Structure 1
């Protein structure tokens, strides 16, 4: 697993997520561990290296 730190698009706190580099490309939704708002993640790995990481708010 790969731990990646980023800033929440809602509360602006620095949080982390665990990413699986064995999955080359994925999109999923997970709640912020601080403010509990849903974040849509788009993640891409190439040869085990993180190539793309996007954490977008989901407008409600």
Structure 2
């Protein structure tokens, strides 16, 4: 498991996500703890160094 420090794409509040690095590419919805809006979390492996890349998207994008 890896900890990712990101920001909510709606309200900008900092988020700390625990990402399962053994699960490979993933997409799931997680609600912001502050504004309660649904955030789409996308996790994928970078080809360059095999590290994780986590991006957050608004549900309305």
User: 1:3-42 counterparts in 2 under 5 A?
Assistant: 3-42=3-42
Sort the Cα spacing of 1:21 and 1:48 in 2 relative to 1 into closer, same or farther, 3 A. farther
TM-score by length of 1: 0.84
Which runs of no fewer than 5 residues in structure 1 stay unpaired? none
Which runs of no fewer than 5 residues in structure 2 stay unpaired? none
TM-score by length of 2: 0.82
Where 1:16 maps in the other structure, the secondary structure is: strand
Sort the Cα spacing of 1:19 and 1:48 in 2 relative to 1 into closer, same or farther, 3 A. farther
The total of aligned residue pairs comes to: 58
Deviation at 1:48, TM superposition (A): 6.4
